[in-house]
Structure 1
């Protein structure tokens, strides 16, 4: 069974799709920002956006707006009527029985929204751009496990950058499954070929997680994690921010 399935942003997901298929919406935030998009975000998000710089603020608001429009397709609710809530660690979720689980990540001009339509497992996603400035390698050397540090040593700069980014996105996706702080999750072992299974050594370590990689575009990497140890598929849906605007179908 293939782990990554192709798709387009015009696909309308079905609520009764395979239980373990995650839809990964990849949004390019490259068009001119429209002020009307902010009508979907709540007061807390507006306050958070107000503390950001101009472009960062526009990308944050467009990402949260796009997530709501995407989720409206699964719930058949208008974006303004979604039961959008914020968890203890700041992770957004939809409140209510039968609601899809989702997670959002954005980096620069790109955003990712991971949705599990059945909602029976929690989901986390991280999206990062692969750069050769050594940023991720330094984090790996300082904070990651010995086997992970070894994986980025003694290889070329490009290979080291890709592997360090892969490890980083896996850990962050695992942390975002439950909304925990990334600092508390840096000890997680995430090396190996996917699906990588992280089994907690004790109940206090949190739920088991299964994580997979996705190269969404050249030099852009993402990881998706779910609670539990069962494997899952990822359906990638690509599109621009225009494709996630409210088109009257919800």
Structure 2
């Protein structure tokens, strides 16, 4: 079983990525404030459309993407999926200038990437983010190693809830433990998967930590860095 992962640098991809978006997405992109926010939005939507074009064999702007939540009636905040290919599970994440997408047909996937250099108060984040057992583990680290270990926990938790499609209000991170090969949760919400959620750290570089969650253990992971978004659809 293979999980394929594509990495794109948004700064070099935005101009080409705009040509792959639907008219509604272009309109929304132009309404966004901030160059970085707009660039990330455009590149993220473009890589999703390029993946759909690759799998469905149609032009990128014609790919139908649904964001309906599977846990409630909201039509806009769910895990994205292709309306014509529900068997293809994918997850997208971004940090800094990186946009990353993971996809597979034989497992559910959740992906998260975090830039370790981002500004935050580490001790405060430990108490918000880490379970009791994770805090004990973090206490054995010092300095930059502790920062990297905390971000690794963060990426693993985000990847887990991206796989399940649950939000932070449904899964408080203090109840979720990811310091082992399988995610553990104290009080799972409705629709939590019956199968185990397996965790994999990803070597993406660029000063980031990244994690992949799957419902199949030990997947083969194929990581490709793309010079152009459209190369994904080939």
CA displacement at 1:198 relative to structure 2: 3.6
Alpha carbons of 1:92 and 1:203: their partners in 2 closer, same or farther (altered >3 Å)?
Answer: closer
2:2 corresponds in structure 1 to 21
Structure 1 position 245 matched with structure 2 position 230: yes
Matched, 1:224 2:209: no
Per mean C-alpha deviation after superposition, the further-off stretch among 159-168 and 70-79 is: 70-79
Pairwise CA RMSD: 2.8
Per-residue CA deviation, residues 10-52 of structure 1 (Å, 9 max, x unaligned), is: xxxxxxxxxx211111111232732771551462674376233
Secondary structure of the structure 2 residue equivalent to 1:206: coil
**How much does 1:176 deviate?**
0.7
Contact kept in structure 2, 1:72 and 1:82, CA below 8 Å: yes
Q: Residue deviations 1:57-99, cap 9 Å, x none?
A: 1221122112211332233222122221112233211123564
Q: Assess, with a 3 A threshold, how the Cα gap between structure 1 residues 246 and 219 changes in structure 2: closer, same or farther.
A: closer
- The alpha carbon displacement at 1:106 in A equals 0.9
Q: Which residue of 2 aligns with 1:131?
A: 117
- Alignment CA distance shift 1:47-1:211 (3 Å): same
CA contact (8 A) 1:129 1:219 kept: yes
Rounded to whole Å, the distance in 2 between the matches of 1:42 and 1:196 is: 41
Kept in 2: contact 1:137–1:161 (CA 8 A)? no
Task: Provide, for residues 187-236 of structure 1, a one-character-per-residue CA deviation record: whole Å limited to 9, x for no partner.
Answer: 211002xx32447766736014222111201521111112x353322111
Give me the TM-score of the superposition, normalised by structure 2: 0.81
Q: Residue 151 of structure 1 aligns to a residue in which SS?
A: helix
2:198 to 173, 198, 210: 210
TM-superposed deviation, 1:157: 1.2
Number of aligned residues? 223
What is the match of residue 66 of structure 1? 47
Contact 2:200-2:212 at 8 Å conserved across structures: yes
What stretches of structure 1 of length at least 5 have no aligned partner? 1-19
Structure 1 residues 106 and 149: CA distance shift in structure 2, 3 A = same
